Amino acid sequence: MANRLAQETSPYLQQHADNPVDWYAWGEEALARARNEDKPILLSVGYSACHWCHVMARESFEDEMVAAVMNRHFVNIKVDREERPDIDHIYQTAHQMLARGAGGWPLTMFLAPDGAPFFGGTYFPKDARYGLPGFRGLLERIAAVWHERRAEIVEQGEQVRVALGRTLPSRKASRAELSGAALDALIGQLRANFDARHGGFGSAPKFPHPSDLELCLRMGEVGIVETTLRRMCEGGIYDQLGGGFCRYSVDAEWMIPHFEKMLYDNGPLLALLADAWLVTREPLFARCAAQTAEWMQREMHSPEGGFYSSLDADSEHEEGKFYVWDRDEARELLTASEWDAVAPHYGFDKAANFEGRYWHLRVAQPLAPGADALLASARAKLLAARDKRVRPGRDEKVLVSWNALAIRGLAHAGRVFARPEWIVAARRAFDFIRAQMWRDGRLLATAKDGRAHLAAYVDDYAFLLHALVELMQCEFEPSDLEFAGRLADVLLEQFEDPEAGGFFFTARDHEQLVHRPKPGHDSAMPSGNGVAAFALNRLAALTGEDRYARAAERVLGLFYPQMLEYPAGFGMLAQALDEVLRPPATLVLGGAPGPVAAWIASLASEYLPDSIILGIPDGLAGLPPLLDKPARPGPVNGWLCRGTTCLEPSTDLDALKQACRRSRACAER
């Protein structure tokens, strides 16, 4: 019989519904049982695209004997880290404190009934190997420790609580202390860690770090961005047939990825590719942007409009099986001319690069001149054949935060590349969130099969606000600006720490956990505090609401000492700092809808990272004073302001472009 997880919205939890383990989802029912029966909690955190999560499930959670030990000694709780990032964040941090090492997934933690952790790890094999203890034996030992050494466990739990509290920033900087020194420190560190040969930062494994690359592009470090994106687009981390990026590369050369594909990577990378193309006009970036946007719409877009979360690394219980090739299989699908073009280009003429017997496609050498048509026909044949394979599992829940990253990426790239269908897809996703996941003035974090639930987190509000500012630059709707204000108000009312500054990850009325984090570092996704500061500062520029700008400054004041002393990981907060020090330019274009749209399209061909450009047809009512411009002679009039300085309205598009470029160059940090 299926256990309780069959009733959950998370595909990851549903994957464990047939386990013999007496699983609970995180909630009061499980916590109350642990308290009433004085049993420790076995907390297992993972996600549906996680390879080692599947391995541990097959080895241990599907095993009757292991499950019997779990059920006898523990209250067993399964958590999808994508639906409950609050829980994952707390216990990943606790694991790093207890184990003095990196965390990861699956995360396996043992907790007292009050939630205090006392032991943990990540993947444990069923039987001892890889230098790790066998899981069944470990369960017995942990159960014995719980009964025999309770006082030590209680004391350690208190120590962990105190240590978690110390992770909150304590020193603050005043507005007057904020300077470009923190930006210079981070750029200097990124330069030092840059891999000039292969791109990216550091060695294996390599992650994309889009927030750091966005900052580099803003600050003129074009070489770092161009090299990294070129190597990624030519590497195996990029799906050469279907488009889209995998989560990370296991090697320093971007050749072999961990094959899962996450929505949260592809939205930011799509926006970054668009901006990199604006600066370099590199055709490769335009092609990868188009293929990534097409993959998002083809494979990740739900019929209702939202975007699904991820694709598994595994199919048929083997990592990468869907993506890799037997050389003879590929050769039989192609004509001799196609094979002669494709084999050296994708590396089929070299030794197998995956497990010693398969080929994973990457650009091994440039395509021969004049072979573009042969490559296109070969790609189409290979993709069609691949589509007939058993596909990786798809996690079909819709998350607000990840959708917001996709919305911003599609809207921004759609504007840059004049692809209105991408903007339409972004708008549909936003409309889905507002219709299905906004209830009683608050967001719900996750939705699947018509059911939305779970209180949203700071990332949900901040990322959606950021996306909405981008959507408004594609086509301005007064209702969007009104909704942006409502999102910002919830951020300030429910998440902000008005005394110390910054935003907690969970709302004021969220359930009480052992810790309430206030993260500032970027992870695989940009920092919620960084995005909140960036988006609130931009909203202040549009509305004139000073309280939004002051909240952004309080965020930066809180994290500035850390940014200065230990700059790594603060890419998004650094972008927000740059915009607070050099306020964004706001360009309002008023006039007839057709000519205004033409000017918007022309300005979209410029790299203006710190400009907010809105096309507002004459006659719209109910606008804030900063956007409410009078009708004037001429088809279009442009009003350009930066901070408190505004130029005279202009009917000269080229002059406005020059003014946008010049105003940033002249702005002082």
**Quick one: three-class SS letters along 106-130?**
CEEEEECCCCCEEEEECCCCCCCEC
pLDDT (tens digit, 9 = 90+) per residue, 505-560?
A: 999 999 999 999 999 999 999 999 999 999 999 999 999 999 999 999 999 999 99
Does residue 663 surpass a pLDDT of 70? Answer: no
Nearest-angstrom CA–CA distance, 208 and 238: 11
Per residue in 337-363, is it b (16+ CB within 10 Å) or e — as a string?
Answer: ebbebbbbbbbbeeebbbeeebbbbbb
pLDDT beyond 70 at 55: yes
pLDDT for the residue numbered 668: 47
Q: How confident is the model at residue 669 (pLDDT cuts 50, 70, 90)?
A: very low
Is the predicted pLDDT of residue 271 greater than 50, yes or no?
yes
Q: Is the dihedral of CA 288, 293, 295, 296 positive or negative?
A: positive
Longest dimension (CA), the chain: 85
Confidence of residue 643 (pLDDT cuts 50, 70, 90): confident
452 is written with which tokens? 């939305």
Q: Which token pair is 395?
A: 């996690």
pLDDT computed for residue 619 by the predictor: 84
**What per-residue string of b and e applies to 494-526 under the rule 16 or more CB within 10 Å gives b?**
bbbbeeebbbbbbbeebeebbbbbbbbbbeebb
Mean pLDDT estimate for the chain: 96
CA torsion sign, 329 to 334 to 340 to 341?
negative
- φ, ψ for residue 453, nearest 5 deg: -160, 180
How far, in Å, CA of 268 to CA of 282, rounded?
18
Give the CA angle between residues 428, 434, 437 to the nearest 5°: 115
CA distances to 63, 249, 313, 365 from 627, rounded to whole Å, are 63, 45, 47, 51
Once rounded to an integer, what is the mean pLDDT over residues 550-576?
97
pLDDT for residue 666: 55
Q: How far apart are CA 203 and CA 51, in angstroms?
A: 22
Contacts of residue 553, Cβ cutoff 8 Å, sequence gap at least 6: 175, 178, 580
Mean pLDDT, rounded, for 269-276? 98
How far apart are alpha carbons 659 and 115 in whole angstroms? 57
Reported as a single tens digit per residue, the pLDDT across 346-386 is: 999 999 999 999 999 999 999 999 999 999 999 999 999 99
pLDDT of residue 641: 94
Helix (H) or strand (E) holding 87, with range, is helix 85-99
Per the listing, tokens 């490769």 go with 284
Residue 664 reports pLDDT greater than 80: no
CB 236 within 8 A of CB 256: yes
Q: CB neighbours of 338 closer than 8 A, spacing ≥ 6?
A: 374, 377, 378, 381
Residue that has been written with the tokens 């080229």 in this structure: 654
For residues 596 and 418, what is the distance between their CA atoms, to the nearest angstrom? 15
Two structure tokens written together for 124: 């444990």
Q: In sequence order, which ranges of 582-652 are alpha helices (DSSP H)?
A: 593-603
Structure-token pair, residue 483:
């909704």
DSSP state of 647: P
Pairs from 551-555 (Cβ < 8 Å, separation ≥ 24): 551/491, 551/492, 551/496, 552/576, 552/580, 553/175, 553/178, 553/580, 554/496, 554/498, 554/501, 554/502, 555/501, 555/502, 555/503, 555/529, 555/530
Sole residue written with tokens 């190597």: 231
Delineate the domains of the chain, giving CATH numbers in brackets.
Answer: 4-165 (3.40.30.10), 323-388 (no CATH), 585-666 (3.40.30)
User: 108-129 pLDDT, tens per residue?
Assistant: 999 999 999 999 999 999 999 9
The count of C-alpha atoms lying within 13 angstroms of the C-alpha of 484, restricted to the half-sphere facing its C-beta, is 28
The rounded distance, in Å, linking the Cα atoms of 53 and 81 is 12
* DSSP secondary structure of 245-300: B-SEESSTTS-SEE--EEHHHHHHHHHHHHHHHHHH--HHHHHHHHHHHHHHHHHS
Average pLDDT over residues 134-145: 97
User: Can you tell me the distance from the alpha carbon of 431 to that of 475, in angstroms, rounded to the nearest whole number?
Assistant: 14
Model pLDDT, residue 432:
98
Helix (H, G, I), strand (E, B) or coil at 33: helix
Q: How far is CA 87 from CA 44, 79, 358, in A?
A: 11, 8, 39
Instruction: Return phi, psi of residue 318, to 5°.
Output: -125, 130
